[in-house]
Chains A and B, each alone.
Chain A
Amino acid sequence: MNLRDDAKAFVDGELEASRLAEIQTAMESDADLRGDIEAMRALGFELRRTAVEHEVKGAEKALGRFGSSKKRNFFLEAFVCCVVLGVVGAITFPVFAQSKESAKKTQAMTEANMRESDSQMKAEGGESVADGLASGRSASPSRSESRLFSPGEPTYFDDTRGRPNVLAPDLIRTAVLNVLVKDAPTAMTEAMGIAKRMGGYHQNSRSTKTQYATSISEVTLRVPVGRFDMSLDALRKLGEVTEDSSDSQDVTAEIADVGARLKVLRAEEESYVTMLRAGKKVGEILEIKDRLSSVRQQIESLTAQQKALKDQSSYSTISCTFNERPKVAEVKPSEGWTDDAWANAVNGLKSVGRFLGQAVIFIFVYSPIWLPVLIVGWFISRRMRA
């Protein structure tokens, strides 16, 4: 086979080692072959460089088509449901009265057991995890809980089963919580404690005093996405919730897209590096270097984007604002009716004095109006008497 027929495969690295060596040897002496290979390389480079990158549309719609449930066979499921209902009905109907009786017994036994275990826990000085979280004291978690909250290790678990959910969508979950509390800085400290116990951390915090002598504390918490709902529940228990909103954004497709783009860009980077090594003309080398640096910039930007998305989807953000209840001025109880009467009289005298003072000032200020009228009146009355 003619060596030139393999020029394109040589450029693409799709040749066997022996054929590759053969062409490399031939290239040293055959200038035409070298020209062919250079032309193929330049052409391929240009085709890849000028490829149109269409903006992707409809990813959400496509994801929505595959809801999170198993593939269903409607007729089979309907048939199985009918059979199960029939069997259950046939068994339970005749013995319904008996079952009811035994259910009551079971319930009574369960309640007795719960009471017993509760008193046992109290005797040991423990408390339930949820209560502990709400009160801000360190709860004594169960063995499985303590395994989940291993220190320094981010936890990402399925809420319902407590095991990693590899197929769960990547969600960015955020919540805003406004809580009315007695003491805002203390509530903020408790909130930070909750985040820490949930395997998260506080991103930033701020406390300010208002003109009414109350405090406002704001804190941004980051908690593992699997513990988001539990954290919110615990935070809600810190006071009276005045605003509660949450939002989630599915970024599964975005993360996958960024990953795919990175893969393509890294392959492109590799091919540029190979071309740079083989390049001979200065202009060509400079051009390739230019594009290589542009590709590397894109890779860096996408890597940062990927990292940010992963961080946002593995740790949810909760913005909490703790407002203190407005403090009502304290009224001291009166010591007796005489004191009240004295205080009222003094206050009354002050008011009369204030009124008289104001009247004198008014009379003085308006004197240019009333004084000439008074003088003229006095003069006329005097003439008339005369």
Chain B
Amino acid sequence: MDNLAKLAAQGHRDAMRRIVAEHYASVYRFCARRLGADLAEDAAQETFIMAYRTINRYDPACALRSWLFGIGLNICRNMARKQRVEVDIDNLWSLESASPTEAQIVDNDLLRDALKGLSPDHLDVVILHELEGLTYEEAGMVLGIPTGTVKSRLHEAFKKLRTAMVSEVAK
């Protein structure tokens, strides 16, 4: 993958095509989760155009996917601000219907309400780690924060989710 990035940095469009082919689906899904399906395509396209323009600045120490997610995150934030779109839990998780078997582990309705109560910072780390499957280090690179901060935010997010769900049950 580093070779592809190097070739792309030298101006080889074929290498960039390979990068797009490899990562488009994950970048698209990442954008769709943040902005919804209507804006995701534009955001994903914009991400790769921006990546091509700035590939000279790519650091091979960072995984290419994380680097693309970092660009995608900035683009999604800008688009969300311009279009006045907020992160919608329904674009992230399908928690409407809970069969009795699923409810044995976690009640989906409770989880949905608890997720709505998370701050954007907490939601960011949850999305990157749980949905996109990034490690703490990779998530830190995407968000531009230290690994330790990712760890503590994730722990806090899960603690909040649990507390919110327990207090809801107690009511």
Contacts and interface: CB of A to CB of B under 8 A. Distances in A.
Given A56-B25, A57-B28, A167-B17, A9 B104 contact: no
A194 B92 CA distance: 54
A65 B52 CA distance: 11
Contact of A167 (B14, B25, B26, B106): B14
A260 B22 contact: yes
B145 interface: no
B134 to A, nearest CB: 11
Nearest to B3: A166
A264 B45 contact: no
A25 B160 CA distance: 26
Contacts of A304: none
A159 to B, nearest CB: 15
B131 A62 contact: no
B93 A47 contact: yes
B76 interface: no
Q: Give the bracket for the number of chain A residues in contact with chain B.
A: 35 or more
Contacts of B151: 8-9, 14
B85 to A, nearest CB: 15
Nearest to B65: A260
Nearest to B49: A65
A161 interface: no
A14 B29 contact: no
Contacts of A53: 29
B130 to A, nearest CB: 5
A71 B13 contact: yes
A63 B104 contact: no
B79 interface: no
A210 interface: no
Given A9-B155, A52-B92, A63 B161 contact: no
B87 interface: no
A100 interface: no
B62 interface: no
A61 B151 CA distance: 37
Nearest to A167: B14
A52 B29 CA distance: 9
Given A52-B92, A53-B29, A54-B33, A66 B13 contact: yes
B17 A8 contact: no
Contacts of B105: 42, 45-46, 284, 287
A15 to B, nearest CB: 9
A43 B106 contact: yes
Interface string A59-71: 1011101111111
A12 B151 CA distance: 10
Given A8-B155, A52-B93, A66 B135 contact: no
A256 B18 CA distance: 9
Interface in B8-45: 11-18, 20-26, 28-29, 32-33, 37, 40-41, 44-45
Contact of B101 (A168, A267, A287): A287
B119 interface: no
A8 B93 contact: no
A71 B167 CA distance: 58
A267 B23 CA distance: 17
Given A14-B151, A40-B158, A48-B131, A287 B28 contact: no
B154 interface: yes
Given A9-B151, A57-B40, A264-B133, A287 B104 contact: yes
Contacts of B90: 52
Given A59-B25, A256-B21, 8 more contacts: A54-B37, A68-B13, A71-B13, A72-B11, A167-B14, A169-B17, A260-B23, A260-B26
For the complex of A and B, the 10 pairs showing the least CB-CB separation, nearest first, are A71-B11, A54-B32, A167-B14, A58-B41, A46-B106, A256-B21, A8-B155, A257-B25, A252-B21, A66-B16
27 contacts: A5-B155, A12-B129, A12-B136, A43-B106, A43-B162, A47-B130, A48-B131, A51-B93, A52-B90, A52-B92, A52-B93, A55-B37, A56-B29, A57-B40, A57-B41, A59-B20, A62-B45, A62-B48, A63-B20, A65-B20, A66-B52, A168-B14, A169-B21, A252-B17, A252-B18, A257-B25, A287-B105
Interface of B: 7, 11-18, 20-26, 28-29, 32-33, 37, 40-41, 44-45, 48-49, 52, 90-95, 101-102, 104-106, 108, 111, 126, 129-131, 133, 135-136, 151-152, 154-155, 158, 161-162
